[in-house]
Structure 1
């Protein structure tokens, strides 16, 4: 986090540029970050203010931000009251990590207070009398007189700034802070993706192990029916000699060169014909189990080996997440993906198109009616996000979510964009996409494969975005 000296250095740099400027645009790309576009004669500066506990800071940035479709309430309030307002002054409060923007808008004088104080970082709006009008973190009751948080030890006032002199440029302190925290946020994002992936892998591992155990049990039970075709044939050869109601029959086993006598159990409640049919049916069950379960178990064992290998890579620190854009990046700054290894293998396995969202979540897209049906009613879980272009033929889209979690806004936009792209709306480049939880999607009775009925849904209007699509396709398979 910034020290008081860091705050002093960056304000020395940016205050002369912003003082007297007009707030043209207000954005809130994340729940704890504001971006103000401030217009001064001949130029627009982008002021970033973050009250994230780990990344609290204030500086000018040149990076663009991806914003949610619907502005958060705090952003809506600022736009309603301060878009077009003038910045009269921007100053440090009490040699502490607190910055005050004094502004004048159509409703008079106000202040935006930025508390860049670590875990308790906050952004507040004050009226002319110093009373709290709005509080991003909701720590202060509305209408209460604002009081600054207790100041930290005074040695921070004389500690040299870490960012002064690190970068040569027009705004060296801002650029150094921007670069440093961009890297920190990227590192945290990668760590979060790793932990989410690790949890998902361990969950998949347990599920696959349970399936293999169940399949092996089924195969073991079916193996007991290996000789039942022989019993059926022997009963068939002696069908006329077997009396109904008997519980066994003794006969010569003509399938054995030694011609031994064997005893074959019978169900006395069934006719000899029914007993014969049962033996043949159970033998067919054995053959089906041999044909289907053995390859299934073999594939699952190989899958477990891949899962365990990827878990090892993550735990050893040698795993790399798939390529994804970094937050607040306006260039091709990406986390590079490994071209080979368990993750790449996992993404190529099986049907469906596969993509990685901006937030690192896996998105599946069906290619045809059969895949749509298999994706929605085979692969998808009840809490997964499900999407489809409204009222037109198209692909089913599923986002894998952990139970009890909501999809991040950027992942929702990514998945909706794919649902639009792989539908008949692609020609027009825009349309409505419905989204819901998989549990609210049912098969349409008596309809063609892939036809569904949705009982609860929301709608999102989407226009094709070339940059977003290119980023998704670069992470697709």
Structure 2
């Protein structure tokens, strides 16, 4: 969606008509892909933008420029030193090479600002034939202090110009900004919508799983009904039977024969106790699932509101991206997120598959305790205990909740979680990132406590 070769030709011709002879007064380079320069011609000043952002590469006229960041990229000093006070001689388009050249003179020196409009666009500033500076990412083969080499020529199919405008001065340059700034805005909005849509999709999958749990009230009531029937006919039951047919008396006075499947290994009393135990367990799980459903529906409404706000918000300029140089200076993130459990105990949760391996085999110590949701993909969770320290029941439950929440069993009211000292976790040879084996583990059947999970998620801290 960047400028087309024929559009480069048209803009170059326009710049030769209306800006040739203009003097550069100010230069700004807020990012490693954008250069703004103010050109003074008789009677007016105009701000031009040269941009090498992929998908929106352009040279255009802008009405206003964004403010510079507190620490702009270092190439801004090069552009200011070389271009401030320079005179624009002419603009030259190389349509078969998808390149635009702006030629300047300053103090008897010739300078060229190059814009290559390709799938890997780049801005290059040359003094004579040699490269002074270039945008990031750079083009392979281009080096500062070495001659600039133009791209290979390729003949392409003619494409109609999309540049339409109503201005009289620099009409096409302003039209280029209007066209590609809109594309840039849409790309930015889509980038902000994408994680929301992904989160909404995942949330809806969780809702479907939890809804199945919430609908188990009918199964629970069937177990209670069987338990009551067995209690009423306890004297008729004999151990070792696989089933029994019992008569149920209905409210309208009629009767119904009910076949109840039995476990031959259980005594009649154990059959009754088993039915009522499962009834209470499933009923409690259904109630927890209903409470969880209400929370999930609120989350879904919040995500929908954010999406609606993005779609209805008035257009705004995308924020300037920080330069790779400033990003590189930032400290790398550890392979885990840190939460504070009961008593302030730290709990580490792996950020992803490769991060899981780094957490378990490079960060965790052998005596730390490792957790994982049993039988499903999920994050590695580590409790970094002091040596000889014991895992308290509350911290055990906290870590198990985080292991369940950060696994494919997220949203389930009951999850099996295994835990074991890190020294018993092993990485099989040639296995996938995050895949491990472990021995001597203990396993607990975790019943989700929404209050506990909410407390843990709100207690995430910076490691």
Please give the TM-score of this superposition, normalised by the length of structure 2. 0.49
